[in-house]
Amino acid sequence: MVRWGKLFDSDGHDRRHRLQDEMRSLLPTRRERPPPPPVPPKEVTKVALRLKHQIEQVIPCELEQELVIKPHSHIITPSVVATAKEAGGEQYAACVVYCLLVVKKWFKRQALAELWDADLHEVRAVAAEKLAKIIIEDEEDQNYLMEHILLKRYSVFVNGEPTVPANAIERAVDLHALTVIGSSGYQKCIHHLWKGWLVQDDEDPSRFVHFENKTNTSYWAHFDPDRMRVPRYQNAVQIAVSVIFLALYTGAINTINPSGDLDVVEILLYIFTLGFICDETSKLWKVGRYYIGFWNVFNTTLYALLATSFVLRMIAYGQGDDKEKRGHFNELSYDFLAFGAPMFWMRLLLYLDTFRFFGAMLVVLKVMMRESLIFFALLLVVIIGFLQAFIGLDLTDNSLQDSGFVIQAMLNAIMQSPEFDGFERFAHPFGLILYYIFTFVVMVILLNILIALYNSAYEDITENAIDEYMALFSQKTMQFVRAPDENVFIAPFNLIEMFCLILPFEWWLPQDTYNRLNDYVMGFIYSPLLIVTSWMETRQAHSVRVNRKRGEDDDDVVQEWEQVMGECDFEADGWDKKVQQTKPNVELDTAVLEVRKLQEEVSELKEILLELRDKANWGSDTLKESKIEDKGESSDSVAREE
């Protein structure tokens, strides 16, 4: 039984278009219509349109992205940020960040539709993302930030209907918005989700609420099977199960049974495999083709090898006393089992991506595999063309005799080990000349293109390794959080849910009774882990209480440089004044500072000149007045003498 999911809507209108927007998501497990969003979709759309208009006016022409994303940008100024915050007014202010991410998606689509202005729209998309990050980091109320800005779900209007509700956390993961994902408030929210401090409301799964026992120091209050919904606990169980799965495989491959009988280790190995196959099949059925990715194909291939090995073992077991056939099928079964050994060890990387080193390397590998698609597309065309030429040369005598030799030689050339022996006698001289050309095209041109693509991908990822890791971690967290099962049975424990709970009890037991039964079974299965997690959460509760008494955030950790900070008063001892007098101005370039300094000096000089002019004017007026007075006195004296 599962909670409301994210991407399925009952009417199916424009479903394909919406699924493409969310194809990175871990999609839901129940096809129900989601509850209506708390804010009218038309109002959210209007806010998004206001923000789109603002960004178009702020960036009216093509600019360099560096001018937009750099700190203290003269384009994304504080006044521009303040205007963006006002786009939703007081009533819809919380949806501004979500709307900016929607605007980013719009500009990305516009860049694909209008290639002549693609660079302009790309810059505008970057500006929308930068505005969202600044708004997130400027918000001081952390509870409001997490509950309303980042985790509340909103919808916009598309084709006359509201889209499936989503929140800013999900939208940023789906759009791979590294700038937003790298913001402090976003990562703090992700870590609260990862630790289970923010959980989905039982009554309304579209809402996220604070874990009610976060400050409860009672051990048994945390001994709750429902805590298995917490992402880090699910991840820990998956890692443990993967290690056990690998250990079972190692034991099975190193203890071969010539008789073909199954021992306990092999039985457990195949039971685990059945659980993983059921889990993958269930997700694929519920999600559809958009669930298919690199790791799904990888795991499916491994499970197919194990299933083939099991089928061959059963065929060998059914041969009865025929030792020859039984040995043949038994040997073939172990061959398939041994063939999957590299994939077993590589599979561990899927569950170790929460560690920073493995996470960054997995991102590099993922991008390299995507870039290599260009190489394989070119290679396929070249191989088909040359293969047809070689087969044509082989058919000149109306017989196809050397096709195996030609295919092997072409594959050796691709693996940088060409073999020219034999082509002297193959349609001489056309076969040898054609093979030289094929070797040159593959080894000199195509392989160098592949190396260049790999270098480019590696440089791009390593430059943003931290942001890429945070994006990968956020995506993994949201895979656990989005539409989780109410009863978390991680493979192979899903077999217990299927055969011991769902089939015999779910169809007739009352809902409350069935939920209690699930809790009892989950409590028994996960009791070893719950013993540890309850102790960890009890310690966290004590830490949270201490932080709240000090007036700090719940997840605050006192570092060594903060231990004596309370005894320092930099303003009283004058140290802060000295620092303020000598600190440089990093918000502006040196040239701008010099120009401003020159402008101040020119202003001062202008004031001095005006003062001198006023004094000169005052002196000339005084002189004129004195002359007039002297002239008047002289005329009066002349008159008296007369």
Residue 483: inside a domain: no
SS3 57: helix
Q: Do 158 and 31 fall within a single domain?
A: yes
> Is 258 part of a structural domain of the chain?
yes
**Domain, as residue range, for 73:** 15-182
* Phi, psi angles (nearest 5°) of residue 198: -115, 125
10 Å CB burial of residue 524 (0-12, 13-18, 19+) is exposed
Q: How many domains does the chain have?
A: 3
Least confident range of 61-65, 256-260, 377-381, 493-497:
256-260
Mean per-residue pLDDT of the chain: 82
pTM, entire model: 0.80
Q: Would you tell me how many other CB atoms lie within 10 Å of the CB of residue 224?
A: 17
Does 534 reside within a domain?
Answer: no
Q: How confident is the model at residue 16, as a pLDDT? A: 42
pLDDT band at 641 (very low <50, low <70, confident <90, very high): low
Task: Say if CB 533 and CB 227 are below 8 A apart.
Answer: yes
Return the amino acid letter for 151.
L
**Is 387 in the same domain as 425?**
yes
Write out 245-287 in H/E/C secondary structure.
HHHHHHHHHCCCCCCCCCCHHHHHHHHHHHHHHHHHHHHHHHH
For residues 27 and 159, membership in a common domain is answered with yes
Distance CA 94, CA 90 (A): 9
Is 86 part of a structural domain of the chain? yes
Confidence band, pLDDT 50/70/90 cuts, at residue 637: low
The CA-atom distances, in angstroms, between 371 and each of 301, 405, 462 are 22, 31, 15
Residues 393 and 463 in one domain: yes
Question: What average pLDDT does this structure show over 339-358?
Answer: 84
Q: What is the mean pLDDT of residues 207-211?
A: 86
Q: Are residues 123 and 170 in the same domain?
A: yes
Same domain, 123 and 51: yes
338 and 373, same structural domain?
Answer: no
The secondary structure of residue 116, as a DSSP letter, is G
Tell me which DSSP letter residue 562 carries: G
Residue 109: inside a domain: yes
Q: Are residues 34 and 139 in the same domain?
A: yes
Identify whether residues 53 and 145 lie together within a single domain: yes
| pLDDT of 640 above 70 | no
Per DSSP, helices labelled H in 402-464 are 403-414, 430-440, 447-463
Question: pLDDT tens-digit profile of 215-264?
Answer: 888 888 888 888 888 999 999 999 999 999 999 999 888 887 777 678 88
Q: Are 446 and 379 contacting, i.e. CB atoms less than 8 angstroms apart?
A: yes
pLDDT digits (tens, 9 = 90+) for 394-415: 776 555 566 777 888 888 888 8
3-class DSSP assignment, residue 24: coil
Segment among 2-11, 96-105, 276-285, 509-518 with least mean pLDDT:
2-11
Based on the domain organization, do 431 and 471 belong to the same domain? yes
Report helix angle 184-195 to 465-481, nearest 10.
Answer: 40
The answer for 183, left when phi > 0, alpha when psi is -120 to 50, beta otherwise, is beta
Q: What amino acid occupies position 185?
A: G
How far apart are alpha carbons 321 and 311 in whole angstroms? Answer: 18
Where is the domain boundary, 293, 316, 351?
Answer: 351
Q: What is the mean pLDDT of residues 148-172?
A: 89
Contacts 24+ apart (CB under 8 A), 534-537: 534/219, 534/220, 534/222, 534/223, 535/219, 537/213, 537/222, 537/227
Residue 162 lies in a domain: yes
> Rounded CA gap, 157 and 155, in Å?
7
Q: Give the distance, in angstroms, between the CA of residue 78 and the centroid of all CA atoms in the same chain.
A: 28
Tell me, yes or no, whether 444 and 384 share the same domain.
yes
Tell me, yes or no, whether 302 and 319 share the same domain.
yes
Q: In a 10 Å sphere around its CB, with 0-12 CB exposed, 13-18 middle and 19+ buried, how is residue 457 labelled? A: buried
Grouping H, G, I as helix, E, B as strand and the rest as coil, residue 408 is: helix
What pLDDT is recorded for position 563?
A: 76
For position 99, what pLDDT does the model report? 94
Which residue among 477, 505, 534 closes a domain?
477
Q: Contact at 8 Å (CB) between 483 and 29?
A: yes
Antiparallel, parallel or unpaired: β 161-162 and 198-200: unpaired
Going by C-alpha positions, the residue among 274, 280, 278 that lies closest to residue 298 is 280
Closest CA to 87 of 57, 110, 117, 118: 57
Domain boundary among the residues 182, 217, 243 is at: 182
Which of 9-23, 53-67, 130-144, 564-578 bottoms out in mean pLDDT, i.e. has the lowest?
9-23
